[in-house]
Structure 1
Amino acid sequence: MISANYQAPVGAEQPKVTDWLQAWGSVAAVFAGVAAAGAAGALLRQEQKRGNEAQQQRIDDRQEAALAEASAIVYTRLVFDHGPNGISGVQLDVQNFGQRAVIDLDVVVMLRDGSEIAIKRVQVLPPGGDKVKVEDRNLVGPHLPSTLADDTAKALLHYTDLENTRWKKVAKGRPFRLPRPSAATASGQD
């Protein structure tokens, strides 16, 4: 126990006021150091939190930009050709109002009765809003109805952006990101 009545051992010099001040100053320095370390730790945690929030915001911004680009792919004018034996062809115009091209555009026309007509792949759909005609004028098959109004079908678009993300868009709806195939699936192994 420390008190003002401290007596030094025989033969030792008695503590002076400066000795007491130095001792209490050392104790205060320890507390100040602990407080400074706590403040530095709190500041570090706050900066890490800000960094994580900024990183998440960048990820969200990139995803939003990718969704905006994917949303810029639209089709117009879905028209069926009617021949003497029923439907003989289908055509539609696809436009890319985005700023970057998309690749591997697959178009499937979905009929109300649940049947589908796959149209050949368009390798590149350039940006800028120019219309690209997608058509199949040689449709044959028993699954096709003999007559069909142009407004009784909708198109399903599958395409890949330049970030190698595959998208699916049904009719005029919002596009959905498709999962990336696993390495085994992509190589054809199961």
Structure 2
Amino acid sequence: MMQVLPIQSCANTKKDQSPGRLIVLTGPSGVGKGTLMRSLLQRHPQLYYSVSVTTRSPRPGEINGKSYYFISRSKFEQLIAEGEFLEWAEFAGNYYGTPRETLLNQVQSGKLVVLEIELEGARQIRTSFPNALSIFILPPSFDELEKRIRGRAQDSEEAIARRLCRAQEELKAADEFDIKIVNDNFETALNEIEAALFK
């Protein structure tokens, strides 16, 4: 496990500035957290979205540098060795990670910084940033989750099976998080996230 800077390093030096905060959004693959995040950012452009780095291939419509930074496995492993990630994890055969320096600078400057990451990475962030607000997105049912994953028509049967197996384990972790939101009705779920961030 890499060394992570303590939360004190993100303290603000300017007294007239509101403190920044880290918000972690997680949940199983297919639960709709990416769609919720996109809508949240459209409604609240003042939020800073930390773009993750991944070794998986882009899906249709995804843009490098906006959806993710898409890099090779060897490059990702080089960045791990150089300590460039605040957190990283391997999921469904691909690496995912959060760039360290930019995120810390944004929190330090007083921004609300939102991360949409996998469970393992969310746990790493919670350990390093105990003051982060953590939100777990749940599906209305496991059957609905499977329907959504299959409906994307982007994964092989083997990849779908891996995601569903992983999702069963991830759902057991929901109680570890500050807030649980069921994404049954999209607008309701989005409103609940907004209430948690801006109350």
TM-score, with normalisation over the residues of structure 2?
0.22
Larger Rg: 1
**In proportion to residue count, which structure has more helix?**
2
Q: TM-score, normalised by structure 1?
A: 0.23
Greater relative contact order (Cα 8 A, min sep 6): structure 1 or 2? 2
